[in-house]
Structures are given as structure tokens and as C-alpha cells.
Structure 1
């Protein structure tokens, strides 16, 4: 074998106590369908012990790869990459991190890379007792990263004493690629993508990830995870208002190739639900969510998509529950949950509760633009239109690339009687971006309703409905649509939503 696990005193598979005092915390308790408790584990970013800047990408990417591998298992809950990303480069006691993440066990590891050689020292710690469940030193050639990753994943399962089904064993034993350079390029892509998603929202990081994934695909055209990563870049670039209208098309093409080579790539399947919605195929999206919930019940992003789907269907209680579960599976999603839950309370007219939710998010990320965007929405509906406009202008000044919210800005301006300023924001370029998004299309329709252009208002609200926005309770109460409700086309539209649901 190209990997040798050291034996004797260096390989301490077993239970060695490192700390005697039990912590005052309890891991999250989740039960299987048969009533057994699921183990919860966190994989911390690896530490670059050699301080080689050319190897920094392994810190996040190796942890992300192990997380992706273990997340396929129904019997195990793995904290997603979004949760552990904040620990990269930080000096923190693994047990303290495990307590914070409410897990049963935490894996910490460091690596030294020298030329074509890599040595990883890893330790799996029982967070409740402080016992070391497994520790080892693993040596590998730089082309053997997959074997190294598989070894760590298997030792985690052994340390937690998990028994897998035959199907799960088969899935874990399947290698994503046999091309070592392609896999290294993929890891570089995951590192850049993680930086974009979890830390910077910088377009250049997303572009770098796209280049990495494309290179990995050139090296191995059958590499499903690389196709999925490429699609995720395009999809998330668009979701965050930073992309182009064609990004959905590029994402769909990449996901389709990922499915062709591996139909169980979870990331691609979850994000593809949003593509189905953008194409107006909401029934297909619902069916896929139902199937995914059965196959991958511990996948946090699934509950984000589920929460959005319920919101767009006007099913507010179900949406709130989905975002609650999102946070349970992914504590790092507190901010995402906060502004999505705030939207539900805004729809209900409970503005104080909406602001409370946004304040919860501010405790974790005080300058997050999405928190400010939806706070501006609450201000608008409270009648504080100057405050709303001032806050969204601040967001656009700090994030000029977020063209996706210009339609919301236009709605605020129109609602405040600033007609010409509103029309300036809904330029042809802005409208082109809005044609593929259920919320942006609704904001454009609302803007035209406020401007008195009923024909264009109905055109864009119908577009929003076609894209999956069938939030009937909101359509029937939103003050921005007051001028449309006496028009026969409004009753016809409400009837169409009822038929779809």
C-alpha cells in the first residue's frame, strides 16, 4: 500500500482518557426511524503544520472532502463545512469546538507536506468524556490523497462503532476519480468555493473555483463531484445577486453531467431543485425534495430549499420549521435562517418579531448584507420609507455588484413616490437578471403596480408565479398590489395559484 498507518504506541485505536472532568454540555440528540440515537461528528479544518503557503488549500478542502464522504450516511450526522469553516487558522481546543458544535465526537488533524510526501496526524476525540477514540499518523504520497481521506473516514466510523448497511459500504467504497491531479485541482476548487461562500463573497474567489473545477474536468471528464462543484459556483453566484442570467443555464448543464456520472451527488440534486423552480417546474421540485428527504435526511441545505419552497407556497408554519431544522443540522446557518424567518414574520405583519429574528443574526454577523436588505424591507412596510431607502443604498454602496436587489430598491423608491429614480433602477440590464428569479420578478411587478403600469405589473407578477412564487396569502395582503386587486386579472391570477397548489 502507498499508505502506512503506524502501529504500536503511535496507533492508539481505543479509549485513552485525556481529560477527566466532564463538560457541562449535551450533544444534539436525533433519533433514527427505529429509535436509535444518531451520532453527531465534526471534522475540523486540518492544520498546515509545515506553514507551506502552497499547501494551505488542504486545510479546508481535506476536511470538506471527509465531510462530503461521511454525509452520505443516514446513521451519522456530520456538521457541514459551513459550520467548521470559521475554525480554519484559529487556535482552539478541539473539545471546546466540539462542545460549541454540540457533537459526540470531533476530528482534529494536522499535516506536513514536503515535496511529494504528506504526513497527517489525526485524532478523534469523544467530546463528552474527553477520551481519545482513535489517533494515528498516516503517511502518503501526494497522489494518494484519496486513500488518505478514505482511511480517516473509516477510522472515524470504527471509532464511533457504527455499523453500515451494504449499500452504505458500497457507496463509501466508490472513489470519485482515479486521477490524482484532477482530485487535487478539485480540492483547490473546494477551498476557493468555501472562501467565497463562507468568508468573502468575492467574485474573484468564485471565478478561481470555477477555473479549478473546469481544470479538474479537463483532467477527468467523468468526475461527478467536479461537475457538481462547477454547477454550485454558477448557482450560488446567481443566488447571491452576483451573477448573470445565463448562470442558471450553466449550472443546469454542470449538474446534468454530475447526475450522469453519479446520480447521488447530493449537492447537485439539492441545488437542482432551485433550477427546477427557475424553469417553472415546481411539481418536479416538490417531488425531488420529498425524495431527498428520504434519502439524505441529515443534509442541511435540503432544509434551506424546503423552507424556501414552503415560503413560496404561502405555508408559513412549515417554512419556519424547515429553517429551524436547518439551524439544528448546520449551526452556522443561523444568519441564513434569521433573515428567512424574518421574511415570514414580515408577511404576517409581525414586524417586531421580524426585527427580533434579524437581531439574532446580527449577533453572529453584524455586517451581513442580507440582514440589512431584509431589515430595510421591514422598515418599508412599517412606513419608515426613508430608513428603508437609506439602508438599501448603504448595502449597494458597499456591495455594488449586488444588482439582484436593485428591483427591491426600485420598489422602495416607487412606494415613496420617487418615480423617475425608481424607473432608473429597473433598467434593461436589471430586468434581464430578474427574469430568472421568483423574488426579483415579484419586486419588479410590485414596482410597476406602484408606478401605475398595470399591464407590466401583471406581466412580471405572472412571471414570478411561473418561477414558483405562489405566496397567495402575501399577494392578497401586500399593500404594494392594492391598485391591482379590482382588476379581473388579479382574481384570475389567484385562481391560477389555487389550481397549481
Structure 2
């Protein structure tokens, strides 16, 4: 997959990386500012309305126009005056803004092919919804996600994670090229149609190296049989790839299809805006009301509460206690679900119940060694325990299983690189965390400070404090689950150099 960079004057903007360079040196620019600049330079000379720019920088949010005015003013100050005079960004009275400079679009380099793992490797591409009802898209996505989860629990397979697979949703592509980008040999693709209480699924397993179809089948069943069909598809693929039928312990299945679809919709919203997280909370609560024994809904609701705890600026007892209670409930309901296990493990670590946390992580990865999110979460906890090289190995494994990950992966990667003293690499990683920029910006500030780039570090620290006005270095150091005092002081030193308050 390819992105684009935009060059104008001494600047190069890379929207994918979230970076703006002036003469190859990074420019400290806000996340919203980057979004606005990307929208403007993508259409040089065109007038972009204020509403279009608000949608670009604050998607799905109701924001006052004054916020746009402030961001544009900050961009003008950062960019300065073009060599030819005038302004890079001009105002069109009562309408919007226009980028006045000449822009050169540069394609980024093609993604490097990843080497094939030693074991059979597979990616499940998003199943196409071929019904006439666009509302069935959620059902098709849920089917894809469940097949990924079921296959990944087979230890003899290497299975690409959901986020990377869904990067190809709705995009036509050559199977060989997709397989090379993801570093797998096999692809599962298919379609699903739901109508009149029945579901029709077409699935085919392709060897991307040879182009051969190893297996293909059509299923036409009652809608109530959907989970039995998923089990059958998984079994057939395992048999085709491994030459024998060997299935892991069964997962708990929801009793309510409506609860299942609500949970699928909620999962899409978990890494989005706070407003989206609130919507996810409502969907998951409704799912549990429909199916009180649905373990996965409890797991995601636990993580939703934990995110609320983190985004609130402090670990309030209400958020912490509820999140931990929900995670424990999820594990009780389905002890064979790796996702429930690692969610509980992560929360236990923040409660400093390290022995139980380590045990739960071990159980999660024994159940599903392909669970990329678990490896990423374990990296965070392992680094804070002082086992930095081990933590780096974990996050690298997470990236290999999920080469096109959600942006939050760059937070534990940046944290691990900072802990290892690789501050320049940490800056590069942390600049790619768009979703959790509020959380990662403090580590970015510390990394820049350790490089001696104090002006940039203090700019990042100031932006961090806008969203976290009550932050203090001492409080943070006391709450993070450190098990290594020297490492804690290394982080504290970076924060202090960046100008974050004691």
C-alpha cells in the first residue's frame, strides 16, 4: 500500500507519518494542525470551506469555528513567509481558506516485502457483503474477525491480525502483492449474503505464491447456524494447511445475534475519539443486557472503562474498579478466550498484582500465540519491569503479526525505544501515534529533550498539558507499574528536561 508526501518550499509533509519537516528538520506542529495542512496541500489552489476543514481536523465532532481560526493562525506562524512573499495559506472571506503555494506530490517508497515465517502463514481478507442491505456490512466484518480469531488460536499457524487485514477492506488488489506486503503465503477471501433468516457464505483459500486455489466451498445455512459455519470453515482451512484436523478448545459463542453485532460495531469505535468511545460504551452495555453471559462484550467494556480512566487524566477508583471487575467477569465466562485473559492481565499489572498479571499473560499467549494486541500490551508491562530488550522483542513480534497496526502500537514501541536509549527512533515511532497522541506526546517530549531538542520538547510538553492540565511527573511515576527504580528515574529525567511540571 502506498501513501503520499507533499513538498512545498523548504517543507515536506508526510500525513501518514504525521510529520512536517523544514530542510529535513522536524517542525513541532499540533495533530489538528497537521490534519488541516494535509487537507489544504492535497488541493493546492482550491478553496476549502470552513466546514470541510473542520471535518478534516475534527471528524465527527461539533467544534466552534474559532478553533479553526486558531489552528490556521498557528500554521501561518510555523510556516512563515514564502520566498516569493505573501502567505502560504490565504483567507477567502466568509468562505474558507486556500493553499497558495506550489506543491509537489511525492509517492512514498513501496512497502518492503516481509519474509515468510517458518510455519504456514495466512491472512483473512475482509469478506465482501454481497447482500442488497448495507447494514449487513457489520455482519460481514464480524464473520471476518471471528475467522481471524479462530485461526490464530492454532499454534502451528502464523495469522495476520485484524487491523492489518482490514486495511484492504473494499480495495481490489493482486493477491501476490497483498501477501508480500503482509508477509504471508496464503490468503482466505470470500463473500457473505444474509437474507430471509439464511446466510450464504462463499470462501476460498489461495496460495499466493503459486496462484492455486487450495480449497473453496459454498455454505447455505440458517442464520442461527452462523457460528457452526465459522467452526467448519476454520476446521477446513486448518486441515488444508496442516494436513490434519486439530482444533483448539472451543470459544464461548454469543446467544444473541443482535448482541454479537452490537459488539462488532463497538470494537470499531474503541480506538477513536472520546465521543466514539462513549457510543461504544452504550453499544456494549446494550449487548450485555441482551446476553448477560457474553464474555467478549465484558472484555471490551472493561477496556472501554480503562480507556476512560486513562483519558480522564488519572486512575480514579471508579474507573479502575469497574474495569477490573468486568475483566474478571469476562475470564470467568470464557476462560479459553485469549483476549479476555490479556485484558485482565494488563489491568492487574496496573494494580501491581504482578504475579497474577504475569500468569494471565502467559495463559493468554498459550491460548493464542498470534494475539498481536497481547504481545503489544505485554511489551508495555515488560519494559516497565526493567526487561527492556525483552519488551522490544514483544513489540516487534506484535508488529510482525500486525504490520499495518492501529496507531496505538507506536506508543509501547516508542516507550520501549526510549527505555533502550534509542531516542531518535523513539521520536520517529511516537510521531506515528495519531489516535493516542495525547498519551504519547509526553514520551515524545521526553525523547526530544534527551536529544537536546529542547524547543521542540517544550512545545510538545505544552500541547500535552492542554489535554492533561493536572499532570505531574511525581504522580505519573507513582501510578505507572514500574518494577525498576532506575528506569523510572530515566523517564522522570526526560519529563523534567522537557519542562513537564513536578
Give the TM-score category using the shorter length.
0.5 to 0.7
| Cα distance per residue 1:409-430 (max 9 Å; x no partner) | xxxxxxxxxxxxxxxx22xxxx
Q: Does 1:249 align with 2:299?
A: no
| d(CA) in 1 for partners of 2:494, 2:482 | 16
Q: Does 1:210 align with 2:266?
A: no
3-state DSSP of counterpart to 1:86: helix
CA shift at 1:147, angstroms? 2.5
1:73-84 correspondence runs (5 A): 73-84=154-165
Which residue, 471, 475, 483 being the options, matches 2:484?
471
Aligned pair in 2 of structure 1 residues 190, 235: CA closer, same or farther (>3 Å)? Answer: farther
Q: Show the counterpart of 1:19.
A: none
| Cα distance per residue 1:104-162 (max 9 Å; x no partner) | 21111122233423322221111211111112222233333213322322222233244
Which residue, 209, 222, 225 being the options, matches 2:293?
222
Q: Show the counterpart of 2:217.
A: 136
| d(CA) in 2 for partners of 1:288, 1:138 | 37
Aligned pair in 2 of structure 1 residues 57, 392: CA closer, same or farther (>3 Å)? Answer: farther
Q: Show the counterpart of 2:253.
A: 176
CA shift at 1:381, angstroms? 3.5
Q: Show the counterpart of 1:283.
A: 355
Q: Is the 8 A contact 1:107 1:124 kept in 2?
A: yes
Q: Show the counterpart of 2:392.
A: 320
Q: Is the 8 A contact 1:224 1:259 kept in 2?
A: yes
3-state DSSP of counterpart to 1:289: helix
Q: Is the 8 A contact 1:358 1:371 kept in 2?
A: yes
Which residue, 188, 193, 196 being the options, matches 2:262?
188
| d(CA) in 1 for partners of 2:278, 2:428 | 36
3-state DSSP of counterpart to 2:298: helix
Q: Is the 8 A contact 1:138 1:148 kept in 2?
A: yes
Aligned pair in 2 of structure 1 residues 213, 352: CA closer, same or farther (>3 Å)? Answer: closer
1:81-480 correspondence runs (5 A): 81-165=162-246, 168=247, 171-172=249-250, 176-177=253-254, 179=255, 182-197=256-271, 201-239=272-310, 245=316, 246-333=318-405, 335-358=407-430, 361=432, 374-393=443-462, 403=467, 406=468, 425-426=469-470, 444=472, 446=473, 457=474, 460=475, 463-464=478-479, 467-477=480-490, 478-479=492-493
Give TM-score, length-normalised by structure 1.
0.67
Q: Show the counterpart of 2:33.
A: none
| Cα distance per residue 1:444-498 (max 9 Å; x no partner) | 2x3xxxxxxxxxx4xx37733xx52233223445437999xxxxxxxxxxxxxxx
Which structure has more strand as a fraction of its residues?
2
| d(CA) in 2 for partners of 1:216, 1:366 | 25
CA shift at 1:272, angstroms? 1.0
| Cα distance per residue 1:286-310 (max 9 Å; x no partner) | 2333344444333222221221122
| d(CA) in 2 for partners of 1:212, 1:253 | 19
Q: Unmatched 5+ residue regions in structure 2?
A: 1-111, 498-502
Aligned pair in 2 of structure 1 residues 59, 461: CA closer, same or farther (>3 Å)? Answer: closer
| Cα distance per residue 1:4-53 (max 9 Å; x no partner) | xxxxxxxxxxxxxxxxxxxx9675224xxxxxxx2221111111223522
3-state DSSP of counterpart to 2:302: helix
Tell me which moved more, 233-242 or 323-332: 233-242
Q: Is the 8 A contact 1:228 1:265 kept in 2?
A: no
| d(CA) in 2 for partners of 1:251, 1:366 | 21
| d(CA) in 2 for partners of 1:73, 1:42 | 14
Q: Show the counterpart of 1:498.
A: none
| d(CA) in 1 for partners of 2:334, 2:399 | 28
Q: Is the 8 A contact 2:117 2:184 kept in 1?
A: no
Q: Is the 8 A contact 1:60 1:191 kept in 2?
A: no
| d(CA) in 2 for partners of 1:51, 1:463 | 55
| d(CA) in 2 for partners of 1:189, 1:371 | 27
Q: Is the 8 A contact 2:148 2:161 kept in 1?
A: yes
Which residue, 126, 134, 138 being the options, matches 1:53?
134
CA shift at 1:329, angstroms? 1.8
CA shift at 1:312, angstroms? 0.7
| d(CA) in 2 for partners of 1:241, 1:380 | 26
Aligned pair in 2 of structure 1 residues 94, 50: CA closer, same or farther (>3 Å)? Answer: farther
| d(CA) in 2 for partners of 1:74, 1:324 | 18
Q: Unmatched 5+ residue regions in structure 1?
A: 1-23, 31-37, 398-402, 407-424, 427-442, 447-456, 484-501
CA shift at 1:237, angstroms? 4.5
Q: Does 1:28 align with 2:43?
A: no
CA shift at 1:242, angstroms? 8.4
Aligned pair in 2 of structure 1 residues 115, 389: CA closer, same or farther (>3 Å)? Answer: farther
| d(CA) in 2 for partners of 1:111, 1:157 | 21
Tell me the number of residue pairs that the alignment of Structure 1 and Structure 2 aligns. Answer: 384
